[in-house]
Amino acid sequence: MNNFHLEVTAIDKGLRLDQYIIKNLKFPISRSRIQRLIKAGKILVNQKPAKAHYKVRENDSLLIGIPESPPRPEILPEKIPLDIVFEDEDLLVINKPAGMVTHPAQERYSHTLVNALLSYGCPLSTINGPLRPGIVHRLDKDTSGLLVVAKNDFTHQNLARQFRRHTVKRKYIALVKGKVAENVGTIDLPIARHAKNRQKMAVSFVSVHSAYGKKGRPALTRYRVLKRYKDVSLLQLLPHTGRTHQLRVHLKFCGHPILGDTRYGKASGFDRMALHATVLGFAHPRTGKFVEFQSDIPECFKNFLESLQQ
């Protein structure tokens, strides 16, 4: 346990407790972790637990107990086959299978794309730290398709800038519930993290906390109906922004959840989430030339669509 003692001076009186600690504690810690420690009663003001919104007073005495962080597990190489669509000295374009997590997180440190990349043995960028070497962007675990990996920091920074500026070309295909009425359309709805279920996102228009989280960040998705079936539509999706779970949340909100998406939809008879990244295009960081890669529709999609026509 790391224990720290702080005495509030006149210059800081009136600051909210978590703000005061961030300003004065000489220890690397995030505000969110401080708030968790306050909630857990690990931070005492004048020998009593305090609330995060408490405003400190002159001469207040703070005792802050910060548990030692557990050692970060080593990320080990694993011989997992990679479907490499393209490779040069700067980058890899990989066709990720459904069911594979992109990088270690939340106590999952094996069987990820990163474990496979470490086994493959190529150099990887270091910008995102030891848990995410080479990872510029990610696909959800149950989404398959194209993903670019950076072999060096120059490439990583360039690609990340392209993603931030929304100049990367991305196309997905999805099977969704119901018949989508319009042949083409745009879904322009803000997205925020759900306040009651932190594992989910939601469309949100609010400016304060509510059941649907904080005010949403702008999110825009364009779509085109490729084919309609009895109670299923095959869509092409073009996300302009890259919010967490964007396509899944937008389609759920519109009444057409993606088949197999058990987080935002229901069991549908499709044994995985029916979302696949089919096209990925960007300016090559080294040459500046625009390059584009394609991935065929998965066999499970084809088989399912054939069954709908019988």
Element (H, E) at 62: strand 61-66
Q: DSSP letters along 151-197, please?
A: SSHHHHHHHHHHHHTT-SEEEEEEEEES--SSSEEEEE--EEE-SS-
Q: Which two tokens stand for residue 137?
A: 């962007």
Q: Which of 93, 75, 76 is CA-nearest to residue 84?
A: 93
User: Which residue in the block uniquely carries the two structure tokens 């696949």?
Assistant: 276
Our answer to whether residue 140 is catalytic in this structure is yes
CB atoms within 10 A of CB 155: 23
Residues in the chain: 310
d(C-alpha 23, C-alpha 39), whole Å: 19
Q: Cα-flanking dihedrals φ and ψ of residue 158, to 5°? A: -65, -45
List residues bridging with 228 in a β-sheet: 233
Residues 6+ apart with CB under 8 A from 185: 222, 223
| Contact assessment for residue 144 and residue 95, using Cβ atoms and an 8 Å cutoff | yes
Cα four-point dihedral sign 48, 52, 55, 58: positive
Which candidate in 90, 140, 142, 261 is catalytic? Answer: 140
Burial of 210 (0-12, 13-18, 19+ CB in 10 A): middle
The two beta strands, 43-45 and 48-49, are: antiparallel
DSSP state of 285: T
Return the active site residues.
140
